[in-house]
Structure 1
Amino acid sequence: MSLSPTNPSPRILVFDSGVGGLSIVHEIQQKLPFVPLIYVSDNAFFPYGTKGEAELISRVDAVFHKLTETYAVDIIVVACNTASTLTLPHIRSHFSQPIVGVVPAIKPAAAQSKSQVIGLLATPATVARPYTHNLIREHAPNADVISVGSSELVQLAEKKLRGEKISSQQIRPILQPFFDHPRGDEMDALVLACTHFPLLRDELRIQFPAHVQLIDSGEAIARRVVSLLGDRKFAEQAPEHLAVFTKASPAVTALQPQLAQFGIHNLDILEV
């Protein structure tokens, strides 16, 4: 799908249930520093990883309709693995904008792994999803994939972004199944299959030997957004970014200094 020139300065909407999508924002900003972004956190319904499938599809549909009625948007990035692996077919059939999803980086991990023992770190919902199992069958049929699902790690990423220090004692028990697995010491690639997890890259990195590559989808998503924009030219000036939350809360207020690090200084509450 190609992008029609709807306005001189296209706006990219980056959507997540919490703050994990900011890892995708960072990657997009590296490649498109002059394009304005709308970062949307459906914090009223957070976390997505514990919700039922029909409930989640209905919720994402309702939020996207409200967002696209309120803001002019050229490209939608679903920066949430849980939502992407479940809702992409539905929203692509209901919205006219190009929609980019985030899926577990199984394919690049299988291509890079020498041992063909790959770790998959995701939410419990993404680990269990048939979509994920199909990715493994298609792109890593000969690999031994060690899957670990954690909702707690999502919460730790949220806390880190709000200024809390995360310790090894909090991280290590979550990762223990990798080390307990009979082939765990052969693992040489770890897929970070939740957009929250790259926010904890430093904390995760020190838990594994140096030869274990940490792989996520962020750069690939940014490249896809660049390709959708084609050869459009942008004014080389600092863009106005916006953060939108679906519920006002003290946690949103606490997040503002971290949003500023991504150049996001404007904030809206859009109740859905």
Structure 2
Amino acid sequence: MKRVLIFDSGVGGLSVYQEIYAQLPNVQYVYAFDDAGFPYGELPETELITRTMHIVSLLVERHNIDLVVIACNTASTIVLPTLRSRLTIPVVGVVPAIKPAALLSERKAIGLLATPATVKREYTDQLVSQFASDCDVHRIGSTRLVEMAEAKLRGIAVPMKELSEILSPWQDKIDSIVLGCTHFPLIKGEIADAFGVPVNIIDSGLAIANRVKALLGEIEVRRVDNVVNLTYNSAAVNHHAALNQSLKEMKLEAIQSLNYPKL
């Protein structure tokens, strides 16, 4: 049985996991998140690389992983070269879906919703220049939206008024929103409601799932009831009852602690 490790700073990567699982339900999944280092958008690059390398390398060896997905836009723009140089298995990253948004936008006006780090990255500028040079690209970098998505999976309602205020600079300016953080598809419905008018909302989850499927090769797509999909967290496992229930609904086991060392 193939084994896939999906890694993120928090629970945002679950949006990517769900897309991959829908296509490959008979693969065993290990989902790991680094709550002790959350949010990644505010970490120095050296620390982010060190933390990601430690956790990913540990779990690749422990579970004989066949493929790694870095389901975090911030980490993907920084860590992928190091990971790929040190691992002998495929490593898939995520990037903001600027290209499909630019193709879809009729007004050629799109909004990139991401973390503060992602909206400022040179890599993001390159994506805009390469795929959306004919568009007006408006950017909002928000750690608060990441916190809202994390809270939602722990049973806390998204504060719609605050969400509307965050998106208000885009009113009457765009017709497409790029969800440039894997946390944001978890509140996609709330984002659509808060925006108030019809808008295209695009993320990279399906594209990542297609890439994983291609790399793993031809796998018979069938549901296997006895597969145990694991969940790890670098922080102490406390107060996770609501989150564990959400994980159970996604066919993932309750959270185990990684006992991550202080760096």
- Normalising to structure 1: TM-score of the pair? 0.91
CA shift, 1:175, in A, is 1.2
Moved more, 210-219 or 225-234: 225-234
- Among 37, 60, 71, the alignment partner of 1:68 is 60
1:200 corresponds to 2:192: no
- Among 164, 168, 172, the alignment partner of 1:176 is 168
Q: How does 1:1-16 map to 2 (within 5 A)?
A: 9-16=1-8
Name 1:4's counterpart in structure 2: none
Name 1:270's counterpart in structure 2: 258
- Among 26, 33, 39, the alignment partner of 1:47 is 39
**Which amino acid in structure 2 is aligned with residue 229 of structure 1?**
L
SS in 2 for 1:250: coil
Equivalent pairs, count: 259
1:257 corresponds to 2:257: no
Whole-angstrom distance in 1 between the partners of 2:45 and 2:115:
14
Moved more, 165-174 or 118-127: 165-174
CA shift, 1:96, in A, is 1.0
- Among 193, 207, 213, the alignment partner of 1:220 is 207
SS in 1 for 2:57: helix
Conserved? CA contact 2:29–2:230, under 8 Å = yes
CA shift, 1:268, in A, is 2.3
Name 2:139's counterpart in structure 1: 147
Structure 2 stretches lacking a partner, 5+ long:
none
**Which amino acid in structure 2 is aligned with residue 61 of structure 1?**
M
Structure 1 stretches lacking a partner, 5+ long:
1-8, 180-184
Name 1:109's counterpart in structure 2: 101
Residue deviations 1:2-39, cap 9 Å, x none?
Answer: xxxxxxx0011110010000101110111111211111
Whole-angstrom distance in 1 between the partners of 2:197 and 2:101:
16
Conserved? CA contact 1:43–1:246, under 8 Å = yes
CA shift, 1:234, in A, is 6.3
1:136 corresponds to 2:124: no
CA shift, 1:163, in A, is 0.6
Identical counterparts, % of pairs: 45
Conserved? CA contact 1:115–1:186, under 8 Å = no
CA shift, 1:46, in A, is 1.0
1:77 corresponds to 2:69: yes
**Which amino acid in structure 2 is aligned with residue 177 of structure 1?**
P
SS in 1 for 2:150: helix
Relative to 1, partners in 2 of residues 1:173 and 1:73: Cα closer, same or farther, differing over 3 Å? same
Residue deviations 1:24-75, cap 9 Å, x none?
Answer: 1110111111211111011111110111112211221222222223221001
1:118 corresponds to 2:110: yes
Q: How does 1:95-106 map to 2 (within 5 A)?
A: 95-106=87-98
Name 1:182's counterpart in structure 2: none
RMSD: 1.5
Conserved? CA contact 1:148–1:178, under 8 Å = no
Whole-angstrom distance in 2 between the partners of 1:232 and 1:204:
35
1:247 corresponds to 2:240: no
CA shift, 1:173, in A, is 1.8
Conserved? CA contact 1:10–1:35, under 8 Å = yes
Conserved? CA contact 1:241–1:266, under 8 Å = no
Residue deviations 1:181-202, cap 9 Å, x none?
Answer: xxxx141110000000000011
Residue deviations 1:175-233, cap 9 Å, x none?
Answer: 12223xxxxx1411100000000000111011235541000000000011111121133
Whole-angstrom distance in 2 between the partners of 1:205 and 1:254:
24
**Which amino acid in structure 2 is aligned with residue 145 of structure 1?**
V
SS in 1 for 2:231: strand
